[in-house]
Structure 1
Amino acid sequence: MAEPVEQDGMLIEWDVGIVMDDGVAVRADVFRPKVQGKWPVLLTYGPYAKGLAFQKGYPSAWQAMIAHHPDVAYGSTNKYQNWEVVDPEKWVPHGYVCVRVDSRGTGRSPGHVDHFSPRETRDFYQCIEWAGVQSWSNGKVGLNGISYYAINQWQVASLQPPHLKAMCIWEGAADWYRDMTHHGGILSTFWANWYDMQVKTVQFGLGERGPRSVVNGALVCGDETMSDDKLARNRSSFGDDILAHPLDDDYHKARSPNWDKVTVPFLSAANWGGQGLHTRGNFEGFVRAASKEKWLECHGLEHWTHFYTDYGRNLQKRFFDFYLKGEANGWAEQPKVRLQVRHVDRFVERHEADWPLPSTAWTRFYLDPRDQTLSLAPPAEDAAVSFAAMGDGLTFMSRPLTEETEITGPLAANLRISSSTEDADIFVVFRVFSSDLREVTFAGAIDPHTPVAQGWLRASHRKLDETLSRPYRPYHSHDEVQRLQPGKPVDLAIEIWPTSIVVPKGHRIALSVRGKDYAWQATTGAKLSNFKNELLGCGPFLHDDPRDRPQGLFAGTTTLHIDQKGFCHVVVPVVRSR
């Protein structure tokens, strides 16, 4: 291992080996203050290659971010910017050590790639414990990162590493089945495509075929150049592995947190526009983790942006200064929930005591078959309304709202349906329309035209976990398949992920009941360099694998059965005005 180099006001150690219990040495870059001392550590462990510059690996995201948020680039040379982890130039001067570890099999760390597996979680645990006993460490390790670097914090916290003292989970899903791979039991194709675009491209062993670090010139993906066959043998068949586990079995449970074991203090930061990955887990973690010291924040915009802005970084710094440095900065006294409440044209910050919000008035809006309206009163007559089971479905729209209305929290749709086949996939979209019937969409975590909220359910997965379910947040067990009898109605309770929107007077709310993914327009031209698909409203979080949705089973006719008792309705979290 080379001696530390002094560079840009920091001491930097490149490619430090951390030996795991099976002898594999994963590799880390360590950025620390020049002054001798013992410092708290911010650590990340993940697959995006510590040597790949943000600007080179994710150019479209970087350019958009600094164009609209110049504070991100200000005060740094930006030479050490990496995708979804902290900029050491903005942390080391404040008395932190930043450690970036390439996860097993990626970047400059050898080994077999198996994302979120128990092996990876053990590696992460051992990296934390290694960092906690180094000569430059004060023994307090914090975890801070976005997406992958947030998701795996929940899992490793379940193992309770002794030196882990605080973590900031910035837009990190938690439940491997419900948040990530199977929305309502329907396979998400995101992970298979992500694997191709963001992991295989930086796998250890690409060597000379991979990029070089713009800072130190090292080969980003290791010094050995392997054949395609050897690279394939050194990684899991990720998409196929997920497809092979359609129920929430031991495979998924081994990649999900044990909430009773998550006891470390944490800040959980969600994104209202993160439908499909970057919303649900942050709220579930805040509600269900055993930690006594936990805070929830939720914001908007692209999922990487506020992690790097002064707003996000200062929030993270206050949290870590309190837990890793012991600074008396008042963090413990601040309200548990901090929201950037979303309006159609801005965000307004507000602090709350708990989640769901104590001031919520859970309000039922009923599906009315007459003119497909959404009403506060149940319909006057029974009706059966049908649509193509893999088509655009039906939209039920309210009359113009008579006053400004805030909707903040989780939602739930209760539907009675039948199918001409033995199954049906239901996609529900909660939407807002202006007075002239133009849909209001938002810059989401990934997609620039994200709807207000979404939910999904495969009818054969309708079984509820009665212990965990709430009227406003159904929780499905996903442990057995209950086929439909063609033509016979069944009742579905569909979880719609949390959202926030202050709907202006005169606007309308709507619920679309569909048989396929939401699409804002047929074409948008919107693309990001790290995703395969055009961004049409759902970003990369699509549900279109024909192996999971065979035509013979899903391409029939779906019928909504609406009655005068109002069974078909959506539960909406209307926040009482103060």
Structure 2
Amino acid sequence: MAVLVAACFGGEAMGGVESGAKPAAGGAEMIFEKDVPIQVGDGAVLRANVYRPQQPGRYPVVMAMGIYGKDIHFADGYKLQWDVLKRIYPGVDTEGTSGQHLRWELVDPERWVPAGYVVVAVDSRGSGKSPGYLDPFSTRETQDYHDAIEWAGVQSWSNGKVGTIGISYYGIKQWQVASLRPPHLAAICVWEGGSDLYRDWSHHGGIFSHLFPTAWYPRQVLPNQHGNAATHYRERDTGQPNTGEPLSPAMLAGNRADHPRDLLEHPLDDAWYKSRSPNLPHIEVPLLSAGNWGGAGLHLRGNIEGFLRAGSQQKWLQLHIGTHFESFYLPEFIQRQQRFFDHFLKGEENGWDEEAKVRLYIRRPDGGAFRTEAEWPLARTEWTRLHLDAAGRSLKTAAPQAAAKVSYRPLGEGVSFSTEPFAQETEFTGPLKAHLWVSSSTTDMDLFVTLRLFDPAGEEVVFTGASDLTPVARGWLRASHRKQDAAMTQPYRPYHCHDEIQKLTPGEAYELDVEIWPTSIVCPPGHRLVLTIQGRDFEARDIPGRILHNSEADRPRAEFDGLCTILTGPEHDSYLLLPKIPA
């Protein structure tokens, strides 16, 4: 079905077939084709929405494929987030757009079609209007995406160059499909999307990230399952469910994977995960990777690792702040996305190739600003060790001369180590790690390591993050997963194999490195950094987070509620490695 809709100047949809539509006064127009069939390699048919310029011609394509519903308005599917976005940017659905085609984590066609693009949004197999077996992140879904890109590349309205764009799930799928090298894929723009299904999504440091995937699947995915007649979602233009012809409950259950159970039943980084994680060195197209400093546990590490490890010769990294969704929709960032694609999909000489490779928001307690850099980590980094002293609960540049230890119960407040107040403004930007000597009264222990900032009055500084309030940085490690991959590990960033479980001998000391996800923070004079080590999730200001690791099946109390000990001193040099940036 094709209709002509007024776009970009707040016009209303002008129902009816294309030939009967009339332009809105003063408004730009686009052709909207709904539920367009795309046949993929095994004969299955997916459904897509296609938005394209009214003027005949061949245009570059920006595409996304995912499981959140191509026909559900952002405000209807995610009202809480929509209200936040409207407070941040009231013009999101009024300035240059009617907002009627806004979808969660997807571009607004009314901002892209007038800029000379075709926008294609595809319901993944088993979701929305696309029949089939719903299996998030699966190889079949990724192959479907490959085939959809190739379909778009040969349509009469396409110039043969396809770019992919989208947040989170739509970002994760981009890393996956780009590693398959579809011939018509010309560039990718990955916004807050992990690139390692095990380390970024499922098991942080080997600890099962229970709450988010377990709640995410029934709350955000299953309402969009194809055939779900009980869905509470309705399409605004038709008033009908967005899930196609209804199926029986038994068929619905049989037509989907049990994703949370799959994650729990694969505690190691086995072939199941590897088939769902991209071969990053195989990616060759130009890429723009945008992560969130406040995205610990989901939307930070993968953007950095993807940028570093992708085989692309032309690649850029941006790290920003704020909620999970706001930056994607702000005009400043849309302009940046379009400049990137204008260069690689349209061939415009707009200076993008002269852009700095790295653009970082440098955080301060009272704000911050973007700064450009040439590489990651920053070449001028002064890698700084702050040694833990269990006797004084301190972090100091000088290593303690006497042995000491401190013990804590895993489910309590843990133990904290503090610096002295900074005498002068000090910046830390980059990767970091905790090198710790530990012991446990049981055969395993989980380490939740949190870097925090306190002002002179003793108040903690926290930031609005992608999922919740967030401290300066967080890291995780299950002690039995301490084995590292020597080829992948860097002095500042351990890379754990997660391919075997090495249990502890109770009471014996073990040396291990905890990967703390990267950060940027400027510490003003009088402020202190504090390293908190616990056996449970850190929750800022006692506000429950969304990225929690609280599965009883993964963390039975008998093994993970023993007495935990941190050892310090000459024979057990425990330290925090920080990326200090000279003034």
- Aligning the two structures, in what range does the TM-score lie when normalised by the shorter sequence? over 0.9
Maintained 8 Å contact 2:48/2:123 = yes
Q: Report how far residue 521 of structure 1 moved.
A: 3.1
CA separation in 1, counterparts of 2:262 and 2:5? 44
Residue in structure 2 matched with residue 546 of structure 1 by the alignment: 552
Maintained 8 Å contact 2:472/2:521 = yes
Q: List gaps (5 residues or longer) in structure 2.
A: 8-28
- The 5 A counterparts of 1:346-361 are 346-361=367-382
Residue in structure 2 matched with residue 555 of structure 1 by the alignment: 561
CA separation in 2, counterparts of 1:32 and 1:208? 32
**Comparing 500-509 with 380-389, which one deviates more in the overlay?**
380-389
- Per-residue CA deviations over 1:457-507 (Å, capped at 9, x if unaligned) read 000000010111111100001111000000001111000001111111110
Residue in structure 2 matched with residue 568 of structure 1 by the alignment: 574
- Per-residue CA deviations over 1:312-346 (Å, capped at 9, x if unaligned) read 10110110000000111010011100111111121
Residue in structure 2 matched with residue 531 of structure 1 by the alignment: none
Residue in structure 1 matched with residue 498 of structure 2 by the alignment: 478
- Per-residue CA deviations over 1:505-524 (Å, capped at 9, x if unaligned) read 110001001100002233x4
1:49 corresponds to 2:40: no
- The 5 A counterparts of 1:530-541 are 536=544, 539-541=545-547
CA separation in 2, counterparts of 1:401 and 1:19? 61
Residue in structure 2 matched with residue 19 of structure 1 by the alignment: 39
CA separation in 2, counterparts of 1:284 and 1:464? 17
- Per-residue CA deviations over 1:224-268 (Å, capped at 9, x if unaligned) read 222322211111011111111111100010111112211110000
Residue in structure 2 matched with residue 521 of structure 1 by the alignment: 541
CA separation in 1, counterparts of 2:97 and 2:378? 38
Q: Report how far residue 216 of structure 1 moved.
A: 4.1
Q: Secondary structure at the match of 2:200?
A: helix
Residue in structure 2 matched with residue 491 of structure 1 by the alignment: 511
Q: Report how far residue 4 of structure 1 moved.
A: 4.1
CA separation in 1, counterparts of 2:490 and 2:390? 27
Q: Secondary structure at the match of 1:320?
A: helix
Q: Report how far residue 196 of structure 1 moved.
A: 1.1
- Per-residue CA deviations over 1:381-406 (Å, capped at 9, x if unaligned) read 10121111333210101110011111
User: Could you tell me which of 274, 277, 282 is aligned with 2:295?
Assistant: 274
Residue in structure 2 matched with residue 58 of structure 1 by the alignment: 78
1:386 corresponds to 2:407: yes
User: Could you tell me which of 192, 200, 207 is aligned with 1:179?
Assistant: 200
User: Could you tell me which of 492, 500, 523 is aligned with 2:520?
Assistant: 500
Please tell me the residue identity of whatever aligns with 1:503.
Answer: C
CA separation in 2, counterparts of 1:470 and 1:208? 50
- The 5 A counterparts of 1:48-447 are 48-73=68-93, 74-189=95-210, 190-207=212-229, 209-222=231-244, 224-447=245-468
- Per-residue CA deviations over 1:528-557 (Å, capped at 9, x if unaligned) read xxxxxxxx2xx3111000000011111111
Please tell me the residue identity of whatever aligns with 2:512.
Answer: L
What TM-score, normalized to structure 1? 0.95
CA separation in 2, counterparts of 1:457 and 1:96? 44
Q: List gaps (5 residues or longer) in structure 1.
A: 525-535
Please tell me the residue identity of whatever aligns with 2:259.
Answer: F
CA separation in 2, counterparts of 1:400 and 1:273? 24
Maintained 8 Å contact 1:260/1:289 = yes
Maintained 8 Å contact 1:148/1:172 = yes
Q: Report how far residue 22 of structure 1 moved.
A: 2.0
Maintained 8 Å contact 1:210/1:220 = no
CA separation in 2, counterparts of 1:152 and 1:382? 49
CA separation in 1, counterparts of 2:457 and 2:571? 32
CA separation in 2, counterparts of 1:465 and 1:452? 27
Please tell me the residue identity of whatever aligns with 1:232.
Answer: A
Q: Secondary structure at the match of 1:401?
A: coil
Maintained 8 Å contact 1:271/1:278 = yes
What TM-score, normalized to structure 2? 0.94
- Per-residue CA deviations over 1:325-375 (Å, capped at 9, x if unaligned) read 011101001110011111112121111000001121110111112331111
CA RMSD of aligned residues (A): 1.2
User: Which stretches of structure 1, 4 residues or more, deviate above 4 A after TM superposition?
Assistant: none
Q: Quickly say closer, same or farther: Cα 1:71–1:566, change in 2 above 3 A.
A: farther
Q: Secondary structure at the match of 2:518?
A: strand
Q: Secondary structure at the match of 1:128?
A: helix
Maintained 8 Å contact 1:210/1:221 = no
Matched residues, number: 560
